[in-house]
Amino acid sequence: MKRAAIVILLAVAVVGGGAWYWQNHQSNGSPLVLGGNVDIREVNLSFRIGGRVADVLVDEGDRVDAGTVIAHIDPEPLEQALSRAQAELAAAKASEALLNAGTRTEDIARLKAQMDGLAAVAATAQSTYERQQSLVRTNTTSRQALDDARGARDRSEAEHEAARQAHAAAVAGARPEELAQAAARTRAAEAQESAAALQLRDATLLSPSAGTVLTRAVEPGTMVNAGTSIVTLSLDRPMRVRAYVQEPDLGRVAPGTKVLVHTDSRPGRPYTGTVGFVAPRAEFTPKQVETQDLRTALVYRLRVVIDDPDDLLRQGMPVTVSLADGP
């Protein structure tokens, strides 16, 4: 029993000492070498509106710059919508201007003349009614004639009052609430016009940055919805490498650290890069990066931005990352 216990203690000591030696040697003595892969980002380009595809101006493998026209949606329905929105905006502005300008002098004069004429008619109707009252008292006329005179007087007075109110409204102009309502209609029409113009601009699909067309998903004549992928673009810049570092070496690859990126296609001519990001969480090493016996090791993902990329770097290419200044 004592001999077995001694053997176990010695084994633990050897393993612990070996682990301590490996960590110190790996962190402080030997060069840091990390495995990784080229990580080129891709973007699916799509229209923000739906419609019929008029043309697609690029093909798979074409290189494009930022702002290059990729495709067009048939603009005719959008142009018609914009024309309609512009007409509605013009009508709304005209209505608002009319209210702000108030009633014309000629219209006010016409309403005043109409009011004065009806005032004279009302006065005559009142005189006729009074005369009929006198005649009824002397039995010179009938009660029906008196009722007719009263009705004529009431109608003329009502018409005169209506004319007076119309003249007063013309002189006072539009109410504040009416002006506010007209201004709100104008703003709504402006928003509709802006939205129609934006949709017309969205009928042209532009490349957001330089890159290479990987996939052409549609052809002219295709009816597409908003968000349907038209082409897939591989972004040339920035060029990144995804690598993994073990916990004892975290201090050697802080963000901003200069590194060298080695590839099989350029032996002896590594790319220069800068560590831009180190993940705050550990994860299991991807199988394509490490050997079979190290796949379950916990590591931290980091991102290296290539300072001098070229066309030899391809998506998923395996690379080796080392410190630019050695150990």
Q: How does pLDDT run along the chain (327 residues), one tens digit per residue?
A: 455 544 444 444 443 444 333 344 444 556 788 888 898 888 999 999 999 999 999 999 999 999 999 999 999 999 999 999 999 999 999 998 888 776 667 777 777 778 778 888 888 888 888 887 777 777 777 778 777 888 888 888 888 888 887 777 766 666 788 888 999 999 999 999 999 999 999 999 999 998 899 999 999 999 999 999 999 998 878 889 999 888 888 888 889 989 999 988 888 899 999 998 888 888 776 655 554 445 456 788 899 999 888 878 888 889 989 887 754
Within-domain flag for 105: yes
Per-residue model confidence as pLDDT tens digits over 204-237: 999 999 889 999 999 999 999 999 999 999 887 8
- Establish how many alpha carbons lie within 13 A of residue 250's alpha carbon, considering only the half-sphere containing its beta carbon: 12
The verdict on 97 and 184 lying in the same domain is yes
The verdict on 86 and 181 lying in the same domain is yes
Within-domain flag for 154: yes
Cβ neighbours for 187, distance < 8 A, ≥ 6 positions apart: none
Domain total for the chain? 2
The verdict on 182 and 280 lying in the same domain is no
Within-domain flag for 208: no
Q: How far is CA 107 from CA 96, 110, 240, in A?
A: 18, 5, 75
The verdict on 96 and 192 lying in the same domain is yes
Within-domain flag for 206: no
Q: What is the extent of the structural domain holding 169?
A: 82-197
**CB of 57 within 8 A of CB of 71?**
yes
The verdict on 191 and 106 lying in the same domain is yes
Report DSSP state, residue 46: E
Last residue of a domain, one of 180, 197, 214: 197
The verdict on 187 and 243 lying in the same domain is no
- Rounded Cα–Cα distance for residues 4 and 174 (Å): 107
Last residue of a domain, one of 197, 228, 262: 197
The verdict on 104 and 183 lying in the same domain is yes
The verdict on 170 and 244 lying in the same domain is no
Within-domain flag for 314: yes
**CB of 187 within 8 A of CB of 88?**
no
Structure tokens at 220: 């002219």
The verdict on 272 and 190 lying in the same domain is no
Within-domain flag for 183: yes
SS3 317: coil
User: How many other C-beta atoms are found inside a 10 Å radius of the C-beta of residue 94?
Assistant: 12
The verdict on 90 and 164 lying in the same domain is yes
- Establish how many alpha carbons lie within 13 A of residue 83's alpha carbon, considering only the half-sphere containing its beta carbon: 6
- Rounded Cα–Cα distance for residues 25 and 130 (Å): 127
Last residue of a domain, one of 165, 197, 229: 197
Within-domain flag for 249: yes
Structure tokens at 64: 């494009």
Q: Which of 250, 252, 253, 246 is nearest to 274 (CA)?
A: 253
- Rounded Cα–Cα distance for residues 232 and 20 (Å): 49
What's 303's domain CATH number?
Answer: 2.40.30.170
Within-domain flag for 117: yes
